[in-house]
Each structure stands twice: as C-alpha cells, then as structure tokens.
Structure 1
Amino acid sequence: MRTNYYILLLIVAGSILTACNSEVDFGEQYKKVIYIVNSNNLLFEEEYFYGAEGNTIDLSVYCGGTEPTSHDIDIELHLDYHVLDSFNNINAIANPNYIKKNLIPESNFTLNNSVVTIKKGTEYGVLSIPFSVDGLDPDSCYVLPLTISSNSKAYEVNSKLSTIIHEIKMVNGFSGDYSGSSRELPETNRSVQPYLKAISANQVRMPIHTLPDNKAFISTNYMLLTIAQDSVNVTITPWEDALVTDLGGSTYNKETMSFELFYSFTDSDGDEISIKEKIVNLEYEED
C-alpha cells in the first residue's frame, strides 16, 4: 500500500509540473504540406497597371504545419500547358461565350529559374516572374499556368492546390465600371453604365452612347478616349471602324473620377447625333 501511495504521489506531482509549464514543446503536431497560395479556384486574376515599371507575376508557395521549417525547402514548378488546354476545353463546353485564355507569349515573360525557396524558419517563398505588356492584344486574356513538380524534402503536396492559372488584367487610372447619363442633344436623356477598358497608360476604350457593347460590335460601336498629360483634357477618336467625331471640350475630373464627353456619331439610319455624356467611376460612388 505504501508503494502505491508513493507512485500516486509521483503521478500527481508530475501532472502539476506539466500544467505549470506553459512552454512545453510537443514538437510538430501536423505533417508538412506544400501548396500554391490563391490556387483554390485554379484561376486567379490580378490587376497590373499600364506604364508601371518592373511588372512581375508573384507566386507564393506555402508550407503548412504547426511549426516553421527547420531547414530550407526548394520547390520546383513548371509551365503546365496541359492544364491550360483542359481549362479552356471544359469552359468552352460549359459556356458558348467563353473567351479562351492564352499563354503569355514567351517573349513577354522571363522564367529563367522556376524554383521557389522557403527559407528556414519561415512558412512561404515567392517566385517573381518579370513580364512586359508590349505588343499584347488588349482583347485577349493572357495567363501563366504553373504546377508544383517536386520539393527537396519530399513533403506532401496538396493535389487540389498544386496548380494555378495566373491571369493578368491590365488597368490604368481611368479604367473600370462607370455609370451616368448620355444625352442626345438637345434633350433626350438616357442612363448608361459603360465599362472603360484600359488600352495604354492614358487611354481607355468605351462604347458609344447606348449602342450594343458586346464583342460582336467591337469594331463599330466603340471609341477611344485619350487623356492628356494634365489628366484633364480628353480627346475622342474612333475605335477601328466606328463613325464618331470629337466635338471638343471633353474633360476628366480626377477629384470626382468622372468624365464629361462631347461627341457625335452616325447611327444606322445615317443620321448624325450629338451627344453630351457624363459618367462617374463606381469606385468613387462607393466611397
């Protein structure tokens, strides 16, 4: 009985000491798993500004677990042409209006080293891929598909998060969703909600008045706005075959993120219609 009493006493004492020590190290409680950040939906879109210097596609690779890594981990990635083909084929079947994603031309990006290193004591590493927008078609969707090939510690790779299709969306300080009114002079007023697409650092393309803005009419129903260096004066020119004329006096207000536009266009009956249009960026309205 005395022996059992001492054993019980030792157990209780050990429990008390353990409970009082908040710094007990239980070691790694979960296995290390590697995955690409933002790959949960496969397609990840990121905005890039025309005119910005040093554009790069930055991909983060993460190593999960309860503790930081105790050594460097090298993760090899590769361009995955197959996954891009599959993605395009599946979406084209599901949606007849689907716009195919295109691989960024090899001349527009640099991938000399496709290894990401997660340094000792950290949780993630970043692969920065320089790219240029020079010569890219503004009406094409460009992507870079990458998949994890291997890692230097043979850790498990999350199969659902091992691939990303990184899409670049080119923008500028004037592009985005707008709303406002487009008035046929002298008095017919109509509400409009155009999307202004960035074409360069200081140019956006927008639909004319209330003409159909779908892709089928892109050569005839759009105009190009060029914002001067003063970020105030705006010049209007036709996009491709559009019959539009600049009436002068068009401006941009950077404080209210709004355009006031004066132009005319020739409708399907051959009549020339003069327009006064005022639109405001929805980002300003939300603020």
Structure 2
Amino acid sequence: MKQLNVIILAAFLLGLTACNEDKIFEKEQYKNVFALVSDDDYNVFSVVHNLGEAESIGYVAASCGGTNTTTQEIRITMEENDSLFNLYNKGNYDTDIDKYANLLPADKYTIDDYNFTIPAGERSGRMKLRVRPEGLSPDSVYFVSLRVANYSAYEVNPDKDDILYRVLIKNKYATQEYATNYDLRGSKNGIQTQGVKQMHPISANKVRIMAGTETFQADTTVINKFGLILEIDATNHVHISSYKNITVQQIDGDAEYPNIFLIEDDGYKTHKTFLLRYSYKDGNTTHQMKEELRLEFKE
C-alpha cells in the first residue's frame, strides 16, 4: 500500500512540475521583448550613404517580439556610448591599433532626437540620423556607437540593447558596401593586358583606382604609392591625377581611349565604362597605359 501511495505522490509531483513548466513556457512565449535591429555578434548595422547627397538619411530601428502585440507604447531613449565600439576594436584587432575602426566625426552626423517610440500594437519604431558623408575615406570603418539608456515599458533584450551604426559610402561609379570590380582590358607598354580593377568611391564625382596592372591591397603604403584619382566632370570627361605619391600624366587625343566615362547598352546588357589613356612612373620606369574598365549593372 505504501508503495502505491509513493507512486501516486510521484505522479502528482511530476504532473505539477510539468504544469508549472508549461505555464513558464507560455509566459515566456507571450512575453514582449524589444531589441535594436543589427546584423552580427558585435551588433553592427550597416547603412550605405550616397556621396552625391550633401546629407543622407539613415535609421536605427527597434523591433518588439512576443506572441501578442503590445498594449502600451514603448518610449525608448538612446545615448551615445563607446563601450561596444571599444569592445569591437579590442575583440577584432587587439593591439593592432592601425586597424581600429573610427568613431564617425561629430561634424559628419546629427541626431535631432534621441527618443523614439514603438507605438502600442505595433512591432517596430526607429530613430533618424542625418549623415554628411563627403570626406569620409573608403579605407576606414566608421561607427556611431549607441545604446538604450531608458525605456518605458516591457523588456529590452540585454544582448541587443546597443548598436554600432556603420556608415558606408557610395557614388554613381563605386560602393564601399562590397568590392566594386571593373573588368580591365587594354595594353601596358604596347602589350595586351586584361584583368580586374577595384574601384573605390572618394566623393560624389571622384573614384580611386590603382595605376596600370597594380593589384589593390588594403595597405596605406601601397595605396599611396600607386593610387590614381579619376574625376568625372559634367560632360563625362575624366581627369586623371595622383591620389598621393605617384607621378601620372594624362594623355588626351587618343580616339580609342579618349578619357571619358559612358554608359553602354547593347540591348542585352548595360555597362558602366571608362576609357583611359595615361602614363605613370614606378621608380625610374615610365609605363604607358591604355585601358577600358567595364562594369555590368542593372538600372
């Protein structure tokens, strides 16, 4: 009889535990928790800003989960805080300070209001940033480091209560969002050459390439030694100049390579095309370049 009573008691306790676990699960399932929207382990959220705009708009967003929508608004106050920024640099580069990301300079952005709301019954809200991207370098990483300072209701996900808003730049010809690789065809010192040439946005109408057949490397010494600037004017004529240290001379008057930019459409594919003619010096050697750069794109 005792054994039967023990079995009955054990069954009762097991049922009670299961019931409590179900209630906890149900409570967790219905819980409303909000989080800042970001991409990876360091809570980076990347936004591409157009160098063709004096001021470009971006947003930091928050999203609220839970089985049911909220019944009251969530008023969120953000603040700038460097903790996540410092963690990102230390975690990625440790003591290699030359590779550290940068905080976006204060004169390059404005946050008019650090407060925003997720309205009752809705899933998201957002805060606006006004970014002035002119003058930013395609070789650098720029962040606005933010975190939730206060909120009025429900809960915030503690793993998603801060964010690194990354500013990427682009123009009509290239972007920092991914490698902009143009197909290269032409000749170097009269010898036919082909390959791929990476292009970087510098300003609304300027891009940077490497001279001749030099390969792009994310190394300041190499970039400064072989970098060229292509400036495209209102008539799509291209002006070639030195980025930093290279000696370069633009050669005009070549009917096949007239130093122009154009859009080519053959009815099947559309290409952005540069036709360039110049010479440059590497040490005491002068190289003659004729090059066509083409990038397929969809308008």
TM range (shorter): 0.7 to 0.9
SS at match of 2:245: coil
SS at match of 2:149: strand
Structure 2 match to 1:225: 230
For residues 213-252 of structure 1, the aligned pairs below 5 Å read 213-214=216-217, 215=219, 216-230=221-235, 232-248=236-252, 249-252=258-261
Q: Give the distance between the partners of 2:275 and 2:135, measured in 1 at CA.
A: 30
Structure 2 match to 1:63: 64
Q: Give the distance between the partners of 2:240 and 2:165, measured in 1 at CA.
A: 33
For residues 1-287 of structure 1, the aligned pairs below 5 Å read 30-41=30-41, 42-93=43-94, 99-153=99-153, 155-175=154-174, 176-186=180-190, 188-214=191-217, 215=219, 216-230=221-235, 232-248=236-252, 249-255=258-264, 256-268=271-283, 270-281=284-295, 283=297
Could you list the structure 1 runs, at least 4 aligned residues long, displaced by more than 3 angstroms after superposition. 26-29, 134-139
Q: Give the distance between the partners of 2:99 and 2:30, measured in 1 at CA.
A: 42
Q: Report the CA distance shift for 1:39/1:114 in structure 2 as closer, same or farther (over 3 A).
A: farther
Deviation at 1:63, TM superposition (A): 1.0
CA contact (8 A) 1:44 1:166 kept: yes
Structure 2 match to 1:11: none
CA contact (8 A) 1:49 1:170 kept: yes
Deviation at 1:104, TM superposition (A): 1.1
Deviation at 1:134, TM superposition (A): 4.2
Listed as ranges, the gaps of 5+ residues in structure 1 are 1-25
SS at match of 2:86: helix
Question: Partner amino acid for 2:92?
Answer: N
CA deviation profile, 1:138-175 (whole Å, cap 9, x unmatched)? 5432111112233101x222222222211111110111
**What is the TM-score normalised by the length of structure 1?**
0.80
Deviation at 1:53, TM superposition (A): 4.7
Q: Give the distance between the partners of 1:135 and 1:183, measured in 2 at CA.
A: 33
SS at match of 2:93: helix
Question: Partner amino acid for 1:260?
Answer: L
SS at match of 2:99: coil
Q: Report the CA distance shift for 1:27/1:157 in structure 2 as closer, same or farther (over 3 A).
A: closer
Deviation at 1:118, TM superposition (A): 0.7
Structure 1 match to 2:4: none
Listed as ranges, the gaps of 5+ residues in structure 2 are 1-25, 175-179, 253-257, 265-270
Question: Partner amino acid for 2:151?
Answer: N
Question: Partner amino acid for 2:44?
Answer: L
Q: Give the distance between the partners of 1:283 and 1:38, measured in 2 at CA.
A: 28
Q: Give the distance between the partners of 2:149 and 2:192, measured in 1 at CA.
A: 58
CA contact (8 A) 1:40 1:160 kept: no
Deviation at 1:264, TM superposition (A): 0.7
Q: Report the CA distance shift for 1:152/1:226 in structure 2 as closer, same or farther (over 3 A).
A: same
Q: Report the CA distance shift for 1:254/1:99 in structure 2 as closer, same or farther (over 3 A).
A: farther
Q: Report the CA distance shift for 1:97/1:81 in structure 2 as closer, same or farther (over 3 A).
A: closer
Corresponding residue pairs, total:
255
* Identity level (%): 24
Deviation at 1:108, TM superposition (A): 2.0
Deviation at 1:276, TM superposition (A): 0.8
CA contact (8 A) 1:179 1:282 kept: no
C-alpha root-mean-square deviation of aligned residues, in Å? 2.5
Question: Partner amino acid for 1:115?
Answer: N
CA contact (8 A) 1:32 1:64 kept: yes
Q: Report the CA distance shift for 1:239/1:54 in structure 2 as closer, same or farther (over 3 A).
A: closer
Q: Give the distance between the partners of 2:86 and 2:97, measured in 1 at CA.
A: 17
CA contact (8 A) 1:28 1:67 kept: no
Deviation at 1:27, TM superposition (A): 11
